[in-house]
Chain A
Amino acid sequence: MQMMEKRSAVHEWKSNGLPALVTVVPVGLWMVLFIAVPLIYVVVLSFCSIDQHYNVVFSFTLENYRRLLNINYVRIYGQSILIAFLSTALCLLAGYPFSWLIARTKSRWKNLLYMLVIIPFWTNSLIRIYGWRTFLGVNGPFNNALTALGLVSAPLDLLFHRSTTVLGMAYCLFPFMVLPLYTAIEKLDISLLEASNDLGAHAYQTFFEIVLPLTASGIFSGCIMVFIPTLGYFYVADILGGGNADVIGNLIERQFQSGNNWPLGAALSIILILITLLLVKLYQRAGGDMKNLGV
């Protein structure tokens, strides 16, 4: 059947070039024009410099990359990866049991429970992050409640720390962990679990040796879909981190705004792309399937 399909597909192409062109040229042209060309330009830009008036000078230089290998920049890359790692871990630890419970529930409200995960994300993400900032403030509702209930003697200092940024990132990206996990867990054949139990395996054994490997695709794609965006979410770092928890996205944003240094910003973007590609390679090496991303 597959051989026949392939043969007829090639045959169709040869005899009907026009339909192929009509369907493929729009997307091809669009992607080349708006993705490939700008990215190539960004690569070129990363090897340029600026003059006294912040205009780009098109002469080859490695100065930007040399600057970006400075220990101070490397420290921020490290901080970004740490924040991304902690956010991903938080999402996974909270998201896995949650997805399990929702995916395997026999309740008649299952669809509603699923939608209730998605509904918050129809409110603008910025206003929700601001909601967290309001909530966690020194004189905000959380501290007021805690002091009123007598649980603390002085308001807790919760805002503008690295941990606040991790919370915000995890919050924003939670559905990207839950959705792939939900899909993977739903496909799990419960008879396998029953068989494992019948054969005398302990619950933990069943989990680590049966369930985890079978849902691995969900775990991997969830982790990647949370980890990578965290590196670029500058507004979460700004609003909740207050400037103390900058990620690579903040560095890039700064060079395209107050830094007035597009070539340096371009070089930072290339470094971010390289880190992303490395993570994607690791993902593929660990067995992740590219088809699981983005759906």
Chain B
Amino acid sequence: MRRKTKKMSQKVLSIVFCVCIYAFLFLPIVVIVINSFNATTSKPYLSWKGFSFMWYVKLLKNSVLLDSFANTMIIAACSTVVSTIIGTLGAVGMYKYTFRGKGIIDALLYIPVVIPEIVLGISMLTLFANIHIPRGMLTLILAHVTFCIPFVIFNIRARLAEYDLSIEEASMDLGANRSRTFFEITLPVLAPGIAGGALLAFTLSIDDVIISYFVNGQTKTYPLKVMESIKSGVSPDVNALSALILVGTILAVFVTQSNLFRNKGKKIPEVKKHEKK
């Protein structure tokens, strides 16, 4: 009986603890969403003046803010595509072949993952300044691809760890050439790793602040526009846009990950590292 109450109280404590953590995680989001309905018109838009949808309407007229979001989407899409292609090729190549310089490339891949982003940001700024590439969409995409590639490669490597090369040999013995083998055998097997890497790349690109801060020139990305707003006092249309983006991403997740609620206890939407048995 005492053991049962001890277990009960443990369970209650665990639930309370988890709820507190979740509350902590969602707290600023709740604050932001609530303030998007604030009817205030005077800077710094902090005092509550009543409930209103006016800032959602004003958002539609805020072309600078919407443009910055469009920029972020374009950059994220381009960076994801380019880094996924380069990353997939690179991961497969580095897995299959050994060559001089492989260790160097491997080390270089770890740099964006381990080194603080600000170092990457300033180093790329110095590169672009010296080559006289005007800072803007192009430099943003180049920079984003650079820090996305390692994450794509590491995700695919996890998948490659249990990839049996003899499948490819079998395919070629049966008469398929290299590229056919690659597209019809290798890629489908690696598909979850590639998709996971691409999703990670997209996520990192959308929320990138520090590296974009140094190489953006005059192009505004959505995070940088938010940073600019914070300096002057965030007007609630920025809150409105954030709320809409959040709703959009939650819907996107529910649509694409329907197995979320059919819990078999193991499958989760992120790629996990598989141990070599």
Contacts and interface: CB of A to CB of B under 8 A. Distances in A.
Same complex for A and B? Answer yes
Interface of A: 5, 8-10, 12-13, 16, 19-20, 22-24, 26-28, 30-32, 34-39, 41-42, 45, 94, 97-98, 101-102, 106, 108-132, 134-135, 137, 139-141, 171, 174, 179, 183, 187, 224, 228-229, 231-235, 239, 249, 252-253, 256, 262, 265-266, 269, 272-273, 276, 280, 290-295
A interface secondary structure, majority = helix
B151 A294 contact: yes
Contact of A124 (B27, B94, B222): B222
Interface string B39-59: 000000011000000000000
Given A26-B90, A42-B119, A101-B17, 12 more contacts: A5-B165, A13-B98, A20-B97, A24-B93, A26-B85, A129-B28, A130-B230, A131-B31, A132-B31, A171-B24, A249-B118, A295-B151
B21 A109 contact: no
A111 B28 contact: no
Interface of B: 14, 17-18, 21-22, 24-29, 31-32, 35, 46-47, 85-87, 89-90, 92-94, 96-99, 101, 104-105, 108-120, 122-127, 130, 142-143, 145-146, 149-151, 153-155, 157-158, 165, 169, 178, 203, 207, 209-210, 213-214, 222-223, 226-227, 230, 234, 238-239, 242, 245-246, 249-250, 253, 257, 259-261, 263, 265, 267-273, 275
Contact of A119 (B115, B207, B210, B250): B250
Contact of A131 (B17, B28, B127): B28
A123 B32 contact: yes
A101 B14 contact: yes
A127 B93 contact: no
B interface secondary structure, majority = helix
A119 B18 CA distance: 16
A140 B272 CA distance: 41
A273 to B, nearest CB: 6
A27 B111 contact: no
A37 B69 CA distance: 31
A284 B145 CA distance: 28
Contact of A36 (B99, B108, B113, B273): B108
B198 to A, nearest CB: 14
Contacts of B17: 97-98, 101
Contacts of B250: 119, 122
A24 B268 contact: no
Contacts of A39: 111, 119, 123
Contacts of A45: 126
